[in-house]
Amino acid sequence: MTESLASASLHTIELGVDGMHCGGCTGRVQRALAGVPGVVDATVDLERQAATITARDTVEPARLVDAVGAAGYRATVREAVAGSDAMAAQRKHEASPGAAATVLLDIDGMTCASCVSRVEKALAKVPGVTHASVNLATERATVEASADLSAAQLVEAVEQAGYGATPIESAPAIATSAPVDHKAAHSVELDIDGMTCASCVSRVEKALAKVPGVTHASVNLATERATVEASADVSAAQLVEAVEQAGYQAMPVESAPSPARSTSAEREATHSIDLDIGGMTCASCVSRVEKALEKVPGVTHASVNLATERASVRAAGPLDVDALIAAVTTAGYRATPAPTPSPAADANAVASSTPAAPDRDARKRQEALRERNLVIASAVLSAPLVAPMLAAPLGIDAMLPGWLQLVLASIVQFGFGARFYRAAWHAVKARAGNMDLLVALGTSAAYGLSLWMLLRDPAHPGHLYFEASAVIVTLVRFGKWLEARAKRQTTDAIRALNALRPDRARIVDNGVERDVPLAQVRVGTIVSVRPGERLPVDGRVVSGRSHVDESLITGESLPVPKDDGDAVTAGSINGEGALLVETTAIGAETTLARIIRLVESAQAEKAPIQRLVDRVSAVFVPAILGIAVLTLVGWLLAGAGAETAILNAVAVLVIACPCALGLATPAAIMAGTGVAARHGVLIKDAQALELAQRATVIAFDKTGTLTEGKPSVTAFDAVDLPRDDALALAAAVQRHSDHPLARAVVAAYDAQRNAQAAPVATDARAVAGRGVEARVDGRLLALGSTRWRDELGIVVPPALDARAAELERAGNTISWLMHADAPRAAIALIAFGDTVKAGARDAIAALADRHVASVLVTGDNRGSAAAVAAALGIDEVHAQVLPDDKARVVASLKREHGGVVAMVGDGINDAPALAAADVGIAMATGTDVAMHTAGITLMRGDPALVADAIDISKRTYRKIQQNLFWAFVYNLIGVPLAALGWLNPVIAGAAMAFSSVSVVTNALLLRRWKGRAR
């Protein structure tokens, strides 16, 4: 690339940021800024309390201020280049070859701060470069240079320093001689899977930037999302393909017009829909439905779950629901749109002429009742055929006439067995095979042999085998009914959660209570909840005090006390007190609805081990047909009669069971994820389940994960004043600050004060990187760090200094209350500590019992980290780790330990590490970003749930292995026995019918599991 740097359409904005006090804060601010579309680089300086952002000219400073505010900090614009100034600068670039410009480079090969220094020095030595800044976390260099300097010169300088560099091409500047096509731009967002570090981000951005028509691509590791701006002729499918070729997975999220432009053209968007599938009986059916759906134009992915009988379909463009249903119908199955709890889902599907699906659970109950009645009727007709066989050993000859056997068997074969013929015919048309085809062929062979013998000699037909065909049909239908009952029990967790949803709410309007349907409640509405009632909404208590039973949502066995300001969750049960609750979330946005969606999603996923089953099921039925033919031919060649050969071939066809193979994995996953959800562990997908059971190392964040995350005053040593007076002064200085340490000081004063009134502070202000100062009773007071104390020249007694050092070694954070005006002096030493969560030590011990090593990874000081680690029995500690470096620590743990590494965290600053780990485990008490990034979410902030998550994952995976083992062994043993003539067709049919029932029943044993964290 040799074009002039003047083509860069970027500007730099500097923000003042208040409220940052540690590396974790800078990481949160940096991530918030990097997530704004159009931002290409963001650097946060803790000492200066400032952020410097390089962004496209379309990014307004107000958007950056809002992003910082959303992260929990205050921001003001210190310096920015206005749009008109940017255009003027661009014109100046065009007129003057020596004008300044900015270029961005992706740097490969950096591993540490020394690398950063070498690259910066190499760039700074290039003639014309005025400034070079390199960010190790994003692996990106921002270079300011004269406009006549080419990017090739910068790349060459970096390569000579021993690293790789690639220029990042930006969109043309706003002021350009070429006309701009305002109709040719749109924005597409993609969810990216598989990224673990900043290098992954770089590779994905490069892959997207190479797609013709793409003008800008920005990838956020924390949210695993890419924002792409491109011309209107660039489709989402092209972008997905580019990402997949780079080695990652992508799925379009939405497509919208670029903020700077508008168009009426149709935009591509991601669409998804779930379909309820009827008529599937085995793994071969699953494969056939998936293939049929994937052939529908526009469909990018189709996944079918035999246990839930549901298909999940995704497409890069609009979905034609009728086309999907027609594809499934053509394949020989039934399909109806699955009901969705989310109103937003309606926007994802195009209008269809298909009527809304009835209540699925009620329909399943009706089908089960109908199936039971058909089984009973079939058994009644089959009993006269099999009874004489059972009576024969007793010397009773009660064999029915041949023609009567024919009538009874025909009704069972072609009436109650009609479903097998229909499904078999569709399988033949699709050039595939399934269980129905095997049953239809086997029973037809037994029926046909008997009919031929009867017609050959009606007076003396000999022994007929009508009872074999009739009993096989009856037993198979009986087995499918039992299987349906067992499968329904695997979804008990979902039904239990759905049952928690109240239909109505009692709202308070101008002091008057009204009972209304839940759909009429809006965010902000005040809802009255009486003792013993279920909460209808997520909200915040504004009046009242009670205890709330949240056991079915969080797994917490004891009622949780609730007071003014406390959050409450829809579906939980109010205790003894009346509450007034301000609604914060309703319907599909409530915690309960999100839990239900997450569990349903996990149950619909296929585990990686299922790929083996899919490969086997693809060839299973053809292989069984081949074995049956060989059995028939073999017995005939051996000199056996046609009767014996046909019966043995029938036994082979009937005993083979692809059903057990198809149900082995999904049944266990449904039961496991369901019982886990009931105990407060939400598993997002089957891959997380499979990886969690293999975890050998778990890295824990400290604050909010192993500790309460609520600092408190652990020591307050006054120098010359009484302790209460000094504490009152400290509270006055901190009263108007929302910093966690300030709240801890005020809380300590409020808890211990006597009747005296609190002093009043004036002129309070934050001093960047130091602390807070304010005037109280005319004196200027300062409350801040030891560094600030030393800068003010305040000397304290050696004993107090020793006391501070001792407290710091014990893991406390030290602050000083001081007189900042003459005469300067220390007033008090304040120590802040964070309490270790109850049960955290037991949780670490429980993991050790499972041979899982625990590691502490935190941004806090070494003293605090070492103290917590010692208290919990953790040997390996990584302290003072910046948010971006946490992902690198996780990567190093993978290399050092060589196994699966899990990461447990709760904050935005943990999101990169959660994404980098093989399994991310997030606390639901933390941020949405952390939960979005993680594969497992813990509904309570109890570290003991981590051990529970590992335990239920291991038990579920063990059930999958058991089910697959028995399903394979059953077929490997049963088919040869049938081929050798050692199994009667009736016995073979019974074995086949109960094989799938045994698999589901084994999976249901997981429902007995009880976690330790109760």
Q: What residues are annotated to the active site?
A: 701
Residue 65: name the closest of 73, 219, 57, 22 by CA: 73
Q: Cα separation of 723 and 748, whole Å?
A: 12
Structure-token pair, residue 607 = 């585990």
Q: Cα separation of 943 and 856, whole Å?
A: 13
Q: Which amino acid is at 240?
A: V
Report the C-alpha dihedral over residues 978, 984, 990, 996, rounded to 10 degrees.
Answer: 0
Q: Are 324 and 337 in contact (CB under 8 A)?
A: no
Secondary structure letter of residue 1006 according to DSSP: G
Q: Cα separation of 732 and 777, whole Å?
A: 11
Residues in CB range of 310: below 8 A, 6 or more apart? 274, 275, 276, 277, 304, 338, 604
Structure-token pair, residue 89 = 């600068």
Residue with tokens 């016995």: 987
Secondary structure letter of residue 1014 according to DSSP: -
E strand or H helix at 488:
helix 466-490
Chain centroid, CA 417 distance in Å: 43
3-state secondary structure of 117: helix
Question: DSSP states of 258-319 as a string?
Answer: -TT----SPPP--EEEEEEEES--SHHHHHHHHHHHHTSTTEEEEEEETTTTEEEEEESS--
Instruction: Establish whether the linkage from the previous residue to 823 is cis, with ω within 30° of 0.
Output: yes
- 48-52 long-range contacts (CB < 8 A, ≥24 apart) are 48/768, 48/769, 49/16, 49/17, 49/18, 49/20, 49/768, 49/769, 50/14, 50/15, 50/16, 50/17, 50/78, 51/14, 51/15, 51/17, 51/75, 52/12, 52/13, 52/14
- 624-629 long-range contacts (CB < 8 A, ≥24 apart) are 624/433, 624/438, 624/652, 624/653, 624/656, 624/975, 625/433, 625/438, 625/441, 625/653, 627/652, 627/975, 627/979, 628/441, 628/652, 628/653
Residue 600: name the closest of 828, 272, 290, 825 by CA: 272
Q: Cα separation of 385 and 533, whole Å?
A: 58
Residue 490: name the closest of 1003, 1008, 1010 by CA: 1003
Left, alpha or beta for 579 (phi > 0: left; psi -120 to 50: alpha)? beta
Query: How many H-runs (helices) and E-runs (strands) does the chain carry?
Result: 32, 38
Structure-token pair, residue 70 = 């959303």
- Provide φ and ψ at 556, rounded to 5°: -70, 120
| Residue 168, CB-side half-sphere exposure with 13 Å CA sphere | 29
Structure-token pair, residue 680 = 């407060």
Q: Cα separation of 344 and 177, whole Å?
A: 43
DSSP E strand stretches across 124-267: 129-135, 140-146, 164-168, 186-193, 214-220, 225-230, 249-257
Residue 831: name the closest of 817, 844, 846, 814 by CA: 814
Structure-token pair, residue 576 = 């003894």
> In the chain, helix, strand, coil percent, each to 5?
45, 25, 30
3-state secondary structure of 412: helix
Residue 272: name the closest of 319, 235, 240 by CA: 319
